[in-house]
Amino acid sequence: MTDKDFIFKVSLVVKELNESRNSLKILDYIKEGEADKRNKLLIEVEQLVAISSKMITNKK
């Protein structure tokens, strides 16, 4: 896999994670589900976005 392919694929991951983050924020806004689980998931998504973004930066 070339660096260009890697960056493209990880960029898709970041986009999907951002969509998931938006969905979780909506669920948090409407208070759907357990607050503790929502917060843990939001934190996890934020960490995954940061890691994925750093991977892209390191490949450039």
The chain-wide mean pLDDT, for the chain, equals 95
7-26: average pLDDT? 96
Look up the pTM and report it: 0.84
Per-residue model confidence (pLDDT) at position 47: 97
Per-residue model confidence (pLDDT) at position 1: 84
Q: 17-30 as b/e, with b when 16 or more CB fall inside 10 Å?
A: beebbeebeeeeee
Whether the Cβ atoms of residue 28 and residue 46 lie closer than 8 Å to each other: no
Confidence of residue 60 (pLDDT cuts 50, 70, 90): confident
Question: For residue 39, what are its two tokens?
Answer: 């917060």
**pLDDT tens for each residue of 28-48:** 999 999 999 999 999 999 999
